[in-house]
Structure 1
Amino acid sequence: MVKLRDFEVHMEQLCSDPNPFALVTLAHLQARRTRRNAFQRRHAKWHLTKLLLRRDWDRQRIIDLYRPLDWLLRLPASLESRVRRGIHLIREGTDMAYLSSLERYGLEQGLQKGLQQGLQQGQAAQLLDILELRFGTLPEAVRNRVATAESAQLRRWARNFVYAERLEQVFTAE
């Protein structure tokens, strides 16, 4: 029975093999080899990433093959960002658009929007919790109003809460 680790003696051949599974096999072997050393793993991941990006494959195939490589060779965030910067530099020097600047912009905007939405939802949930603790069960209209409010408004209502004796006072002086 042949095992993946049996291919360790053929790593140089795997590097030049056009078969996509050769890269996945290399990623597995490197993951085993660098299990206890993040810096060596970063170097191995970078090497395999360059091999992948320099192949004359279409964008989707590269993305599909990078996923298992990325999963097998996980890195701490600081080292992962170095690999990403390297990918960006390689992409700039080639015609192959692994991720276009427009796609990156969309991704960044989506992330920013998601973070803002998460912050707003957390603020709303916290405000609803403290309102219920002080004033009891809240009317559905108040719950909806809080759930749909912007972050700045939620912060104002939270400050009003400190001095409010009645629920209505939280929502005054908007």
Structure 2
Amino acid sequence: MVNDLRSDYDSAWKEALTVYFEPFMAFCFADAHADINWERGYETLDTELQEVIRDAEIGRRLADKLVKVWLNSGEDALVLIHVEIQGQVQTDFAERMYVYNHRLFDRYRQKVFSFAVLGDENSNWRPTSYSYHRWGFHSSLQFPIIKLLDYRIDTLEESTNPFAIIIAAHLETQATRNDLQRRFQSKLSLVRRLYERGYTKNQILELFRFIEWMMILPDAIQQEFKFQIRRIEEEKQMPYITSFERDAKLEIARENVIEVLETRFSVVPDALSQRINSLNDLALLKQLHKQTITVLSLEDFVQMLTETQGE
């Protein structure tokens, strides 16, 4: 059984909304997307959002997103994307939407448009408004939502919008919580689709990272998954993921060697750091990492490195 709590929905959604904000709006809130002047770009205000949330004493919300945009009319506005991942009904959700919206308006004195992404597993839970009234006074907030459960996997498969992949990964992660083999097959299918949709190398690597965050597999099955990824990349002649993983491992191994040398000898000369960073042999770097622990001096390390490389 998969421990689904390990699936990092928050980080995946936060990163996805950062990288693919415009495709997200186009896929999920088309009317709003059409009203925004994308040629002027947009500005993320996540730090400011966290300050507002902290001031409101509601708690830290990793996946929420605050973005400043410019409308086709020329005016600017704030777009608040609230992502709710919880699997159970949140009775105060609409109230939180109300508080966020009003706090942001109070801070910026700008129009704030709030949207909600409901990623929970309760198909009947669809909050869209919050209000209170008495003595002739009435205050309310109504906000558009998308319910991820409403998306069909086959429809998502037909879309070339990168955010369709992210939503599909979210839904498949939930649906396969207790079925490891099905999650393995679904994850493999999603990655294969990355290569068949004409995405760039960077898009493939970004989307692959999102899939990895969500669709956690036990180590044994993950190893088989990586083997199948290599087969797909050989078939497509696009070794993006395997080369990326190798480069990442090399970078970590180089950093480990330099870090131990710095810990033991305070300063590592730039020439030596550059030499270590030029190494592309993972086995050699692992060997050097072990030897940095016992070597007596930097001079001895340089001599050992030279001998190892046969120079």
8 A contact 1:59–1:97 mirrored in 2: no
Q: Are 1:15 and 2:148 an aligned pair?
A: no
TM-score, length-scaled by structure 1: 0.60
Q: Structure 1 or 2: larger strand share?
A: 2
Listed as ranges, the matches of 1:123-142 within 5 Å are none
Bigger radius of gyration: 1
- Equivalent residue pairs, number: 129
- Alignment match, 2:202: 60
**Residue 151 in 1 paired to residue 293 in 2?**
yes
Structure ranking higher in helix proportion: 1
Q: Which residue of 1 aligns with 2:248?
A: 107
Q: Do structure 1's residue 79 and structure 2's residue 241 form an aligned pair?
A: no
Structure 1, gaps ≥5 residues long = 125-143, 155-174
Question: Is residue 38–residue 75 contact of structure 1 (8 Å, CA) maintained in 2?
Answer: yes
State the Cα RMSD in Å. 3.0
Is the deviation greater in 108-117 or in 50-59? 108-117
Change (3 A) 1:63 1:109: closer
Q: Secondary structure at the match of 2:236?
A: coil
Aligned AA (2:294):
A
Q: Distance in 2 between matches of 1:38 and 1:115?
A: 34
CA-CA distance at 1:58 after TM superposition: 0.7
Query: Contact 1:52 / 1:62 at 8 angstroms: preserved in 2?
Result: yes
The 2-side partners of 1:71 and 1:99 are apart by 15
Query: What secondary structure, in the 3-state scheme, does the structure 2 residue paired with 1:152 have?
Result: coil
Structure 2 length-normalised TM: 0.36
1:5 to 145, 149, 154: 149
| Residue 100 of structure 1, CA deviation | 6.5
Compared CA separation, residues 146 and 58, structure 1 to 2 (3 A): closer
1:34 positional shift: 0.7
Answer with 75-84 or 57-66: which moved more. 75-84
- Aligned identity (percent) is 24
1:46 is the counterpart of 2:188: yes
Task: Specify every segment of 5 or more residues in structure 2 that has no aligned partner in the other structure, as ranges.
Answer: 1-144, 269-290, 297-311
**1:37 aligned onto 2:179:** yes
C-alpha spacing 1:147/1:23, structure 2 compared with 1 (3 Å): same
